[in-house]
Chains A and B, each alone.
With several copies, the nearest count.
Chain A
Amino acid sequence: MRHDYVLKLLESGERLDGRKLDEFRDIKIEVDTIERAEGSARVKIGKTDIIVGIKMDLGEPFPDVPNQGMLRTGAEFSPIASPEFNPGPPGEDATELARVVDRGIRESECIDLEKLCLKPGEQVWTMFVDIHMMNHDGNLIDVSALAAVAALMRTKMPELEDGKINREKLKEKLPIKHIPITVTVGKISDKFLIDPTKEEEQVLDSKLMVAVMEDGKICAMQKSGDQGLSEEETSRMIDLAIKKSKEIRKLL
């Protein structure tokens, strides 16, 4: 019943919470929420609430890029965040979330990985980006991606003393080159909308996640949902995502 009502509203261009179709819910960005992490941010968009913490560690580089630091992004659908989530290893959706956020950071060349090399082929910095969900009310990818970028921007690298990490001394910031902003556009019938709630997500036909750079270039995309898109719809969704990414960018 509720499902049908939400559907009908959206088809007529309205939303349960009174927003316009292309309007975000309230966005709150808190940084340095986790003092013990090298970087952290908590982002709330509406009732969706996500913390990202960054830990820096030393590691051996991948053999094919011996002079680059490493990025490892993890996401858990923590069971505190939603009655549908269960404890256990990440499922398909949590894996996709982590990989899509990772892709936005990686493909935008957000971090100058070459500056994170300590000894080529032997030792580089590894950044662990961990996405921790506090409450799930839709649009997990946009919120997670925003929290990840906000946390990376605040991350300070611990000092090395005799080759060992001293986390009580954090000094230099991470070498940030670019800032990707991810906006997911949903489609229902002939309408496009952004920032869907969990209820709205259940009635969408399809979604397109678009990660956008400062200069308007796209650096990652991911279609989702169980209906197809026409070429023209795809174009319009990309354009809307780019436009809305500029609004979000101002908040950082």
Chain B
Amino acid sequence: MGMKSKEKMIVEGKRLDGRTPDEIREIEMKVGVIPNANGSARVSFGRTTAVAAVYGPRILHPRRLQEPDTAIIRCRYNMAPFSVDERIRPGSSRREKEISKVTRLALEPALFLEKYPETVIDIYIEIIQADGSTRVTGINAASLALADAGAPMRDLVVGLAGGKLDDTIIIDLCGKEDNYSVADIPIAFLPRKNEITLLQMDGQLNPDEVKTIVKNVLNAGKKVYEKQKEALKKKYHK
């Protein structure tokens, strides 16, 4: 956002990479990619790739941090140094800290945390390669990793971004579209009841546009949901 392109980004209804406005990039999902983890998954949307691992539930130390009636979730979203053009120095940036927090809040409503009092569940998300929509890609990976770990869940959590580019409402923004978009709305939700658990926005939109984008993302997100379920099935049926 903030940057203005001199040229049109959408020409004759086609986006830079040839997609239509409501088309999601190629999605790849695989669970069980990290043998050491209790659950794990790798998710790609085009060139954006996230790997998530879940460790736990395990007893939390020191004891004074334990909660007597619930498990605690700790979440770290991290960009690999080589994931973007300019190398990222290791260590959490402010952006990574904020995304770690909203990701945790996006996942918590899906979990029956009260089943594991006094424990901690660690969710680590690594963005191996970044080309837009990294936080929602990370949420998809974390959702699958939690399911792979056998965590009791109300539903899976689906992540997908919507936005506006030129005058067009689009979904699943790639990196360049993100830079030149009018607005970007990353969303996470539980598809069964359409419960929104992450909602952020950058840019300028009138309220109706916001509502349209939210609706579009909830609809298109169903495809992402199917992909998640497929990936989980593949694990058990191969």
Contacts and interface: CB of A to CB of B under 8 A. Distances in A.
B124 A219 contact: no
A197 to B, nearest CB: 11
Contact of B98 (A64, A82, A99): A99
A79 B76 contact: yes
Contacts of B78: 78, 87
A226 interface: yes
A135 B35 contact: yes
B150 interface: no
B195 A226 contact: no
B69 interface: no
A interface: dominant SS:
mixed
A174 interface: no
A47 B196 CA distance: 32
Interface string B183-218: 001000110011111111111111100110011001
A55 interface: yes
B90 interface: yes
Q: How large is the interface on A (under 10, 10 to 19, 20 to 34, 35 or more residues)?
A: 35 or more
> Taking each of B1, B90, B102, which has the highest tally of chain A beta carbons within 10 Å of its own beta carbon?
B90
B201 A218 contact: yes
A239 interface: yes
B43 to A, nearest CB: 14
A118 B90 CA distance: 27
A228 B82 contact: no
A216 B82 contact: no
Interface stretch (A5-13, A21-29, A101-109, A142-150): A101-109
Given A92-B97, A208-B199, A218-B210, A55 B81 contact: yes
A64 B34 contact: no
A216 B209 CA distance: 12
A98 B94 contact: yes
B40 A80 contact: yes
A218 B206 contact: yes
B211 A238 contact: yes
Given A217-B204, A219-B204, A225-B105, A36 B126 contact: no
Contacts of B95: 99
A216 B206 contact: yes
A80 B109 contact: no
Given A54-B82, A221-B201, A227-B109, A36 B130 contact: yes
A53 B82 contact: yes
Nearest to B157: A228
Closest 4 CB pairs of A and B: A53-B82, A228-B195, A221-B201, A80-B53
